Structure 1
Amino acid sequence: MMTQKLSQVGKTRSFVGLPLLALEALSGTCLKSVPLPLLLELKFVRVLLLDLPPAGVDIDLTNINRLSQLRYLLVTSEFARDIVLPRQIKGLRFLETLDFSRISIRGDYEFGIVDAPRLSHLVVPELTRLSDGIGMFKMLRTLRGFTLPPMDSLENIIGLGELTALSDLEFWLPKRCAPLVEAAWMAALAASLEKLHNLRQLVTRRSFDIGYCADALSSLSPPFRNLEQLDLRDWTFSRVPKWIGHLHNLCELQISVKQILQEDVVIMGTQLPRLLILGLQILGIPKERIVVGGSTAFPGVKRFSFDCGMVSYLTFEAGAMPELRVLDLAVYVDEWDRAAPGGLQHLPRLVQIGATRAFSIEEYRRRSTEQDKALIRGVFQGAADSLPTRPAFQLWAEWILRPRLDYC
């Protein structure tokens, strides 16, 4: 009955130029070309996939709360900006998945949830502020896109620790503040993260060129036994935390440190047997060469990203990274000694070397872009051409903004 009614609506009314919905009714029938103004007539829809048009059309989605039978809601748009989302999701007692990840919102956006007891997957636009009370949603398994609350607020930081079912967590870091306040905030965050034993993905993001000192997390008791992806490159540790070596299921590791010693390389190379992707950022000048090989072979790594002012401090020995296909290098031209990493001939499966220019804000403003490109291309193309595997060389068009070390 419901399917017939929706089909009639789609055939008899047309709104040229407005976004269309892909809908799935209770019967599982997929309906197309239902215009957005009919949103309020779709009271029994359970699955709603909404693809919005490009910018220039104002889209008001505040009436979503009246679709009380929704189980799954995905809103996507490649370019849309003039979108009005509800400030609260309320009364959607059957909602299990809410995904706003593929849209961008102008200005400051705070989002709250009321009366959605079945919510398991919540993905919000980047840098969204969540209202207090997130700890009440204990069924959440996915929480992505939001910014952590300001460092003078601890309620939602503590609430994160109540979400023990979480398997996928991604958040943006807030602006920094006074050291004593920040220390208390970081301690609360560390205590909450330590309770999330079911995490499989943990990703942090920052929106400024400011480094965040993560040493408060170095003393965690070995957490995250099921973790498969750990991306902490937007935080900075003084050294690689010892607990990294306990993450035996880890497939991807992205980490930033001030310094790295050979024993840190040994921990990552020998105690992470499933590691496939490794990203290592070193913000200080290494005190010793970084040697990969022998007891630090990284047997399964296929992609390695190395971000360090002294690229030539990286050396591969025979037997190092035997499965490595792609080597990505960040090149700081002001610090670089015009040399490639040593021992590239020991990488038998290498098919690509990539380089990305990296700068601080001050360096970027005064650099000669074309001169830098020519210099980088000359060194690394020559290194690639000299190898028996003849890997391709790629100079990427984008650039990397280096965190400010004085904040770490």
Structure 2
Amino acid sequence: PGVVTEFKLVRVLNLQLTGQGHRDDDIADLTGISEMFQLRYLKIASDVCIKLPNNVLQYLGTLDITDARFAPVPWDVNFPRLLHLHLSLPVQRDLLDWVDRIGSPSLMSLGTLNYLQELHLTISSLSTFKHVVKNMEALGSLLGGHDNLKSIAVAHASPVKNTAASKTNILWDCMEPPPLLQRFEFSPHISCIFSQVPSWVGKLGNLCILKIAVRELMMNSVNILRGLPALTALSLYVETAPDDNIIFDKAGFSVLKYFKFTFMRGIAWVKFEADAMPNLWKLKLVFKAIPPMDHPQWRTYGHGTALINIDYMPGLREIFTKFGGTAADLEYVTRIGIASNHPSNPIIDVQLVDSGSYVDESTETEITSTHEILEEKPDVIIK
């Protein structure tokens, strides 16, 4: 790493370090990077622990250490021009525990990340339940009222789902959201979940991309979402399907182009009325775990009424549905009828996936743009 300081005028630095042949407790000292005064972009991938500089990186605009093990980040250092920050939360320590030592824990008051526009955090599947909860609490304190943040994403690092036995609610109900936020993504595969769509989401007039998991879906949540004037792509995960019908009428969602609606367990009756979501291109409805055919939910089901009812939606180019469950239960679903679709709409692509061969959707690539959403590849199914 000492060689790095010989290139003081370098503006873009992408380091890939390997610890092959070294001990696990070895540390790669990268503090010399602070002498690279013109550095604008720094990305580090390393399987050994790295130590970052304690001095100001005056012009650094992007810091990406998602794929690195590192000693505590020196947050007392000023990052005056940092715009993009990509980090993985270590398993062995709380990256954000420095908040506990700050009297006024917000990005604005700290004066260190005032210009930050993009924050991307990756959580390891090995993180403990307590570790994740603590980091989410700290993150909520950091985000509140930040003037320049436009993109926030909390992703899951591994295709292996978080093994925490239960999920706790994310208590951000009183947070003052970043006013310029355009993208908010929160992986449904970590051990924290929103109880419902937070009311402050309704204040986000610039929000274009939203990916969020909620414990339950209430009508108030739907009203919040339909009131977002710039919402173009929505991925909504609901832990437990509601008993009431979910109806989307012509109100709101006027610029929505992509809608993925996932129920983690249970069944729900979903209806799209005529001319709902007039600019929607792609509709995906996923029931990951339908109940057994003798479950009480089916008793309230009126035969002759489809689970999914889609009236004419003029902008639709693709309709995709997926049902996960045992072979017998899936066969029951096909027998009673799955969907009613207006003849002028595209034909529905229906996938019935035996629960023994279902691939967890945490393997999906994180959303980064509306274009990538609309070009999203179908989910992988192991046969």
Same fold by TM-score greater than 0.5: yes
Match of 1:27 in 2: none
Q: CA deviation at 1:260?
A: 2.1
The partner residue of 2:184 within 205, 230, 235 is 230
Is 1:45 equivalent to 2:9 in the alignment?
Answer: yes
Match of 2:315 in 1: 349
The partner residue of 2:202 within 238, 245, 267 is 245
Structure 2 residue runs without a partner (length 5+): 299-304, 363-383
- Aligned counterparts of 1:279 and 1:218: Cα–Cα separation in 2: 20
- Aligned counterparts of 1:37 and 1:190: Cα–Cα separation in 2: 38
Give the letter aligned to residue 67 of structure 2: S
The partner residue of 1:335 within 291, 296, 319 is 291
Q: Is the 8 A contact 1:304 1:327 kept in 2?
A: yes
Q: CA deviation at 1:320?
A: 0.8
Is 1:158 equivalent to 2:105 in the alignment?
Answer: yes
Q: CA deviation at 1:304?
A: 0.6
The partner residue of 2:257 within 297, 302, 305 is 302
Pairing 1:367-378 to 2, within 5 Å after superposition? 371=327
- Aligned counterparts of 1:155 and 1:56: Cα–Cα separation in 2: 36
CA gap 1:165/1:324 in 2 versus in 1, 3 angstroms = same
Give the letter aligned to residue 244 of structure 1: V
Higher Cα Rg: structure 1 or 2? 1
Is 1:87 equivalent to 2:37 in the alignment?
Answer: no
The partner residue of 1:194 within 119, 144, 152 is 144
Q: CA deviation at 1:321?
A: 1.0
TM, length-normalised to structure 1: 0.62
Q: Secondary structure of the equivalent of 1:217?
A: coil
The partner residue of 2:243 within 287, 292, 295 is 287
CA gap 1:119/1:225 in 2 versus in 1, 3 angstroms = closer
- Aligned counterparts of 1:333 and 1:232: Cα–Cα separation in 2: 21
- Aligned counterparts of 2:106 and 2:220: Cα–Cα separation in 1: 36
Give the letter aligned to residue 105 of structure 1: A
Bigger Cα displacement from structure 2, 310-319 vs 335-344: 335-344
CA-to-aligned-CA distance 1:317-351 (integer Å, 9 cap, x gap): 11211111112233223438799752324222222
Give the letter aligned to residue 40 of structure 2: Y
- Aligned counterparts of 1:192 and 1:105: Cα–Cα separation in 2: 22
CA-to-aligned-CA distance 1:251-275 (integer Å, 9 cap, x gap): 1222222222323322321x21111
- Aligned counterparts of 1:353 and 1:240: Cα–Cα separation in 2: 25
- Aligned counterparts of 1:159 and 1:243: Cα–Cα separation in 2: 18
CA gap 1:355/1:227 in 2 versus in 1, 3 angstroms = same
Q: Is the 8 A contact 1:67 1:92 kept in 2?
A: no
Q: CA deviation at 1:158?
A: 2.0
- Aligned counterparts of 1:274 and 1:169: Cα–Cα separation in 2: 20
The partner residue of 2:83 within 99, 121, 128 is 121
Q: CA deviation at 1:291?
A: 0.5
Structure 1 residue runs without a partner (length 5+): 1-35, 132-145, 359-366, 402-408
- Aligned counterparts of 1:120 and 1:255: Cα–Cα separation in 2: 26
Q: CA deviation at 1:92?
A: 5.2
Q: Is the 8 A contact 1:254 1:279 kept in 2?
A: yes
Q: Is the 8 A contact 1:229 1:251 kept in 2?
A: yes
Q: CA deviation at 1:96?
A: 1.6
Match of 2:67 in 1: 104
Q: CA deviation at 1:241?
A: 2.5
Q: Secondary structure of the equivalent of 2:262?
A: strand
Q: Is the 8 A contact 1:88 1:114 kept in 2?
A: no
CA gap 1:114/1:196 in 2 versus in 1, 3 angstroms = closer
CA-to-aligned-CA distance 1:98-151 (integer Å, 9 cap, x gap): 4334x6235x753335755544135344224899xxxxxxxxxxxxxx95439x
Q: CA deviation at 1:201?
A: 1.9
Q: CA deviation at 1:280?
A: 1.5
Q: Secondary structure of the equivalent of 1:260?
A: coil
TM, length-normalised to structure 2: 0.66
Is 1:313 equivalent to 2:269 in the alignment?
Answer: yes
Is 1:399 equivalent to 2:332 in the alignment?
Answer: no
Q: Is the 8 A contact 2:246 2:269 kept in 1?
A: yes
Bigger Cα displacement from structure 2, 109-118 vs 274-283: 109-118
Match of 2:379 in 1: none
The partner residue of 1:277 within 233, 237, 240 is 233
CA-to-aligned-CA distance 1:217-257 (integer Å, 9 cap, x gap): 22345x33322112245443333222222222211222222
Match of 2:380 in 1: none
Q: Secondary structure of the equivalent of 1:265?
A: helix
Give the letter aligned to residue 33 of structure 2: N
Q: Is the 8 A contact 2:249 2:272 kept in 1?
A: yes
- Aligned counterparts of 2:88 and 2:306: Cα–Cα separation in 1: 37
The partner residue of 1:73 within 28, 38, 41 is 41
- Aligned counterparts of 2:205 and 2:224: Cα–Cα separation in 1: 11
Q: Is the 8 A contact 1:384 1:392 kept in 2?
A: no
Is 1:255 equivalent to 2:218 in the alignment?
Answer: no
- Aligned counterparts of 1:376 and 1:66: Cα–Cα separation in 2: 64
Match of 2:369 in 1: none
- Aligned counterparts of 2:314 and 2:19: Cα–Cα separation in 1: 49
Q: Is the 8 A contact 1:109 1:128 kept in 2?
A: no
- Aligned counterparts of 1:254 and 1:326: Cα–Cα separation in 2: 15
Q: CA deviation at 1:167?
A: 2.9
Give the letter aligned to residue 110 of structure 1: P
Q: Secondary structure of the equivalent of 2:33?
A: helix
- Aligned counterparts of 1:346 and 1:177: Cα–Cα separation in 2: 47
Q: Is the 8 A contact 2:63 2:85 kept in 1?
A: yes
Q: Secondary structure of the equivalent of 1:279?
A: strand
- Aligned counterparts of 2:348 and 2:3: Cα–Cα separation in 1: 53
- Aligned counterparts of 1:119 and 1:376: Cα–Cα separation in 2: 58
Instruction: Calculate percent identity across the aligned residue pairs.
Output: 19
- Aligned counterparts of 1:109 and 1:374: Cα–Cα separation in 2: 50
